[in-house]
Chains A and B, each alone.
Chain A
């Protein structure tokens, strides 16, 4: 046993082996060997006797008491056997075993979790927002993973192509973000570059955001035009009521060059907001309230915004319909019976005598009474458009300089060209009246126009002027002489005399809609009222691409319907576009800035409107500029929508910042600004000045 210790509880204990896994059970009487590594007691006796010269000697260590008096037994075994104990695990070993069990159990639990199919997967980091919670394919709708289980996903990990895979999955459902959805603000790169250029030209903010400046110093400035993945801003798995669109002002400005402190400090001053361009409807508030309404007894002379403007459910202010707001004065102008209807289809007058003499058959052709000279001698009006694809350019080009009513001086080749042209005209008329025009031959606007030509009117036209049209065209197509030519040879009257007999009579009753002006061999159309679909179709055709300037007279504000008196025409590249709608909610949605009137006005009153929308008193020169921005001299519409004059003074920033500040109405960027503005072609740089 141990020698007498120097203190009551010796600290320098020779047995203490805290690094071993097993301890002797005989606390205080431990054997020197201690348990084996496997926890087995190695004790046997106090010594292991050695044999020397046929005698056994005790070898007990001095520390254990030295050689014993009794000495080994005759058979060489020690006389002091040590009773075996049951070694116990040390705390170290217990800790190690517990760690091993914990490792194994956690590994099993983890593998069990990942083996569960993903749609019921507990590995989901958080509850999805309500709008995403019912996705049909579970995790695979947004993540590039297998829909079977996480294990299957692990197997296919790394096989996806590089790129914005997850963002593309977002856009698979959110298809309304345009073709450049991942671009900043979802607008195309060219527009982005222009915006960046404009921003760089803007003076630096008076109050900068130090936090944004610091972050840019540390992390650099994000490339203004580099794509941004959806998940950069939209963080999912934060609960069903999480706001996926929540962003701080600093986060909004991290890409912008001129980061300012807040709306009240540093935000650029408003530049003629909310006006971003010429209005879609020309309405001079000053002249109406100052002059026109004054002439009417039942109209107010004081500005009453709500007389015409109404609040939509979306929070924007729209315009009441025509009948409610403008019809009482302007309806009669639209239905003005003194203005001839627009020429839809005009039949040119041919010198049939010369053609017959030259033995060139054009079949029956309406003859005009000599006293009526308003008929056209060329193919004019919308006829060229309606029959465009039926008329071969070669023939039309060749006869362009000829007077079709007098072909006496035309060469034989020209006469043949006239004949070809006449039959092409008839073929086109035949297709229009009797056969459905092949859709692939018509452009959209042409199709729209032809769709509005009632078959009854066409039948009336054919019966009046081309009673033998069907027979002649079919015969001509079969290579036969027309019956009209035969009758001419025999002297029999042909149907072409019908028009002559009718020409003595005045044009048919002045009515609205389609009517035949037989004195001019013209099918005309007079609008029946506001928002006439036929007039819209006609104007759509006239403003389409490739339309010659000769049609521009139809766009005059004095033309039938007086459409451009109020409706503006915007020029976009090669085509013009008539703004039939005064208010477009979708256009507002695509602007950088939005404003909801609802929380700002409790009971709509004009007094509340003028608090922000201050009608300016325009000088004569400015008033003239205003008018010139809508109409040229002669009543033709001005098509440059970028040139405009504001009738209202722009809203100043202070009007908003008085309430929109921290602790009050809040001054978050997203309260007023939109991020995804992407409708191609629906806005221009002028709308982006916010």
Chain B
């Protein structure tokens, strides 16, 4: 339609700009919708779906509005950059919310805010297990392992990037290392090592949950502030266009 308008020597850029402006404002209203829960204006889920599809369409519309070219003016470049950040962060967020969220349903689900406490609890459990083993066997094998590898592992959530990439390598490496220690351990020590392995597995799952949930929260720290920038620059752009197009 815009292409036909351009063919008819109509101000197609004005039309696409108005449409794009409406889209951007509409997309930004999702945040407001989530805060206003008492009005019968459709469910948040419906709004989210509209937000997603409208956001995808806005990318195409932006490219049409810009004439499929990279803007060359400084302000226009900043505007395009802000839009690009919003758009790409939205794409990334959409992908993560579709894929990572599904990964979170595998295994135990835990509240994000509870994960550090749970990790701390597991850490204390592993520490007490180690001390108990030392008391029983007088052997430094297990304490040595704890000191070398496990104490830092239980400090807090670890291996964010690997978990985001759905890699189990860090956890498996640690388990393999524990298993190797068992070759030279006594029966009591092997029992302790087995329990430590279980704790490591639990902690690794918590790390996985934490990494994915953190990612699902953090992408909005890019998307939403960038949207604020975009709204400001869009308003300025509309004002400038109106002033410089006056009398046409």
Are chains A and B native binding partners rather than an unrelated pairing? yes
Residues of B with C-beta under 8 A to A216: 8
The reply to whether A139 and B5 form a contact with Cβ atoms under 8 Å apart is no
The reply to whether B113 and A127 form a contact with Cβ atoms under 8 Å apart is no
A interface residues, how many (CB within 8 angstroms) = 69
- B39 interface residue, CB < 8 Å from A? no
Residues B137-152 near A (CB distance < 8 A): none
Q: How far is the CB of B29 from chain A (nearest CB, A)?
A: 15
The reply to whether A153 and B243 form a contact with Cβ atoms under 8 Å apart is yes
Q: Name which of A92-100, A280-288, A329-337, A536-544 contacts chain B.
A: A92-100
Given contacts A98-B225, A219-B4, A222-B8, contact A9 B120 (CB under 8 A): no
- A606 interface residue, CB < 8 Å from B? no
- A483 interface residue, CB < 8 Å from B? no
The reply to whether B120 and A16 form a contact with Cβ atoms under 8 Å apart is no
The reply to whether B247 and A228 form a contact with Cβ atoms under 8 Å apart is no
CA distance A27 to B231 in the complex (A): 37
- B229 interface residue, CB < 8 Å from A? yes
The reply to whether A123 and B10 form a contact with Cβ atoms under 8 Å apart is no
Return the chain A residue nearest B239 by Cβ: A154
Q: Name which of B18-26, B40-48, B67-75, B93-101 contacts chain A.
A: B67-75
Residues of B with C-beta under 8 A to A9: 108-111, 114, 118
- A91 interface residue, CB < 8 Å from B? yes
Residues A233-290 near B (CB distance < 8 A): 233, 237-239, 248, 250-251, 254-255
- A106 interface residue, CB < 8 Å from B? yes
Per-residue interface assignment for chain A, residues 166 to 195, with 1 indicating a CB less than 8 Å from any chain B CB and 0 otherwise: 110000000000000000000000000000
- A23 interface residue, CB < 8 Å from B? yes
- A677 interface residue, CB < 8 Å from B? no
Per-residue interface assignment for chain B, residues 70 to 100, with 1 indicating a CB less than 8 Å from any chain A CB and 0 otherwise: 0111111010001000000000000000000
- A11 interface residue, CB < 8 Å from B? yes
Residues of B with C-beta under 8 A to A219: 4-5, 8, 10
Q: Name which of B159-167, B176-184, B188-196, B216-224 contacts chain A.
A: B216-224
The reply to whether B73 and A125 form a contact with Cβ atoms under 8 Å apart is yes
**Cβ-defined partner of A228 (8 Å) among B9, B69, B218:** B9
Per-residue interface assignment for chain A, residues 135 to 179, with 1 indicating a CB less than 8 Å from any chain B CB and 0 otherwise: 000010001110000100110011010111111000000000000
- A102 interface residue, CB < 8 Å from B? yes
CA distance A218 to B8 in the complex (A): 10
The reply to whether A106 and B120 form a contact with Cβ atoms under 8 Å apart is no
The reply to whether A157 and B246 form a contact with Cβ atoms under 8 Å apart is yes
The reply to whether B111 and A13 form a contact with Cβ atoms under 8 Å apart is yes
- B236 interface residue, CB < 8 Å from A? yes
CA distance A98 to B220 in the complex (A): 10
Return the chain B residue nearest A29 by Cβ: B117
Q: Name which of A73-81, A109-117, A414-422 contacts chain B.
A: A109-117
Residues of B with C-beta under 8 A to A106: 82, 228-229, 232-233
- B116 interface residue, CB < 8 Å from A? yes
Given contacts A28-B121, A154-B239, contact A95 B221 (CB under 8 A): yes
- B7 interface residue, CB < 8 Å from A? yes
Residues of A with C-beta under 8 A to B78: 109
- B242 interface residue, CB < 8 Å from A? yes
Residues of B with C-beta under 8 A to A125: 71-73, 75-76
Residues of A with C-beta under 8 A to B232: 103, 106-107, 110
CA distance A103 to B76 in the complex (A): 17
Given contacts A16-B111, A28-B120, A158-B246, contact A233 B9 (CB under 8 A): yes
- A232 interface residue, CB < 8 Å from B? yes
The reply to whether B224 and A95 form a contact with Cβ atoms under 8 Å apart is yes
Range, interface on chain B: 35 or more
CA distance A119 to B179 in the complex (A): 73
The reply to whether B113 and A16 form a contact with Cβ atoms under 8 Å apart is yes
CA distance A157 to B109 in the complex (A): 59
Q: List 25 A-B contacts (CB under 8 A).
A: A9-B118, A27-B113, A28-B120, A28-B121, A91-B218, A95-B224, A98-B225, A99-B228, A102-B225, A103-B229, A106-B233, A113-B236, A122-B73, A125-B75, A126-B76, A143-B244, A154-B239, A154-B243, A212-B7, A219-B4, A219-B10, A228-B9, A237-B72, A250-B7, A251-B7
Q: How far is the CB of B179 from chain A (nearest CB, A)?
A: 25
- A463 interface residue, CB < 8 Å from B? no
- A211 interface residue, CB < 8 Å from B? yes
Most interface-central of A105, A126, A214, A232 (chain B CB within 10 A): A126
The 7 closest A-B pairs by CB, nearest first: A28-B117, A165-B247, A122-B74, A102-B225, A9-B110, A106-B229, A27-B117
The reply to whether A160 and B9 form a contact with Cβ atoms under 8 Å apart is no
Return the chain A residue nearest B217 by Cβ: A91
**Cβ-defined partner of B240 (8 Å) among A13, A98, A150, A238:** A150
- A434 interface residue, CB < 8 Å from B? no
Residues of A with C-beta under 8 A to B32: none
CA distance A150 to B10 in the complex (A): 27
Residues of A with C-beta under 8 A to B187: none
Return the chain B residue nearest A101 by Cβ: B225
- A374 interface residue, CB < 8 Å from B? no
Residues of A with C-beta under 8 A to B233: 106, 110
**Cβ-defined partner of A239 (8 Å) among B5, B72, B225, B229:** B72
CA distance A488 to B202 in the complex (A): 148
Return the chain B residue nearest A150 by Cβ: B240
- A406 interface residue, CB < 8 Å from B? no
Q: How far is the CB of A469 from chain B (nearest CB, A)?
A: 65
The reply to whether A254 and B108 form a contact with Cβ atoms under 8 Å apart is no
* Inter-chain pairs besides A91-B221, A99-B228, A166-B246, 18 sampled, C-beta below 8 Å: A8-B108, A9-B114, A13-B113, A27-B113, A91-B217, A95-B221, A103-B231, A110-B236, A113-B75, A124-B73, A125-B76, A126-B71, A150-B240, A162-B247, A165-B248, A166-B247, A219-B10, A238-B67
- A231 interface residue, CB < 8 Å from B? yes
CA distance A16 to B117 in the complex (A): 13
Q: How far is the CB of B205 from chain A (nearest CB, A)?
A: 10
Return the chain B residue nearest A159 by Cβ: B246
The reply to whether A248 and B71 form a contact with Cβ atoms under 8 Å apart is no
Residues of A with C-beta under 8 A to B69: 238
Residues of B with C-beta under 8 A to A215: 4-5, 7-8
**Cβ-defined partner of A103 (8 Å) among B71, B217, B228, B246:** B228
Residues of A with C-beta under 8 A to B224: 95, 98-99
